[in-house]
Amino acid sequence: MQALILALPKAELHLHLEGSLEPELMFELAQRNNISLAYASVAELRRAYQFNNLQEFLDIYYQGAAVLQTEEDFYDLTWAYLLRCQEEGVVHVEPCFDPQTHTDRGVKFATVIGGISRALRDGQQKLGISSALIMSFLRHLSERSALQTLEQAQPYKELIMAVGLDSSELDHPPEKFQRVFAKAIEQGFLTVAHAGEEGPAEYIWQALQLLHVSRIDHGVRAVEDEKLMQLLISEKMPLTVCPLSNTKLQVFAHMSEHNILQMLDRGVKVMVNSDDPAYFGGYLLANYQALIEHLPMTETQLKQLAKNSIEASFMPDLEKQRHLLKISQL
Ligand code: HPA
Ligand code: ZN
């Protein structure tokens, strides 16, 4: 099973670059940029990574992102993630970033996207990992702020495949960003949105009907609404599920209670992702391993999860076929 997980070509479609900032790199960047951290050591920082809900995580995650200042910092962050992908047999990535987390601190949009996109280009050229970048709006901020962010992205449209929606879900329904997403679609962006992580199934309906998303990020609360489940299945709508994130943030009390296999067996297009690996205890392989340890996963299910990750990606059909052929031969 372990060897198979590693060998399967996998795509990661739900990964926050800021959430791949390991404590060691956080301390290194803090020193490089003369920033003092609220924690004395890497060990003390890691001990703070205990969360009862999404908001408790977000508070620490935004604090950590403050060490990212220069183009080189964003390059180093992205490059470190890509090296992990190479080790783990991840052949394609669609990471997201939160521009507002940085522009609100006075870091230029150009600095952020410059570093990220240069690393992604090197990832393709030096590691053979293909990618598409997603720009996420912070849903706890205003519609106006999201519109400004979309405006700032105009010169970099060629570097961004889709827009997304993340941060505090409760009380910030997708409908708040209907006009922003309509504008993004007009400009040629694809759309995705976090929905049904902590928020109700109703937010998944809204993401589908009002934001016209190509994928739902998380979406695990869909099982509470049978009509929605039927729609997800018939539309082959992908859900980018993040098992370790869900248990770390208490969406499920224990991995043995996770509903990913239940959804997979019903024909929902779910796949495995790591969300914020530096904070939730591991990258893609660790997520697969946690599932195998606590759920009765078969080889067929494992292959289907990898297959779904390729099919649900935004890569060209020819590339998809190449990876799917390899999966079918394993
Ligand atoms: N949910 C919402 N916002 C986020 C997450 C998440 O899992 N990770 C980083 N920002
Ligand atoms: Zn997420």
pLDDT tens figures, 213-228: 999 999 999 999 999 9
For the chain, what is the domain count?
A: 1
What is the average pLDDT across 305-311? 99
What does the pLDDT read at residue 73?
A: 99
What does the pLDDT read at residue 255?
A: 98
CATH number at residue 19: 3.20.20.140
Q: What percent of the chain has pLDDT over 70?
A: 100
Q: Is the pTM of this model over 0.95?
A: yes
Find the catalytic residue in 197, 257, 311, 319: 197
Domain of residue 233, residue span: 2-329
**Residue 113 CA from chain centroid, whole number:** 17
The per-residue pLDDT of the chain, averaged, comes to 98
**In contact, 315 and 92? CB cutoff 8 Å:** yes
**94 flagged as catalytic:** no
Query: Which ligand 1 atom sits closest to the C-alpha of 166?
Result: 3
Ligand 2 centroid to 195 CA: how many Å? Answer: 10
- State the ligand closest to the CA atom of 14: 2
The sign of the torsion formed by the CA atoms of 283, 284, 290, 293 equals negative
List the beta strands (DSSP E) in 29-182.
90-93, 96-97, 130-131, 134-138, 162-166
Q: Tell me, using a 6 A CB cutoff, whether residue 172 lines ligand 1.
A: no
What is the average pLDDT across 313-326? 98
Query: Which ligand 1 atom sits closest to the C-alpha of 19?
Result: 9
> What's the pLDDT tens digit per position in 66-118?
999 999 999 999 999 999 999 999 999 999 999 999 999 999 999 999 999 99
What does the pLDDT read at residue 209?
A: 98
Q: What percent of the chain has pLDDT over 90?
A: 100
What is the average pLDDT across 232-250? 98
What is the average pLDDT across 51-71? 98
What does the pLDDT read at residue 237?
A: 99
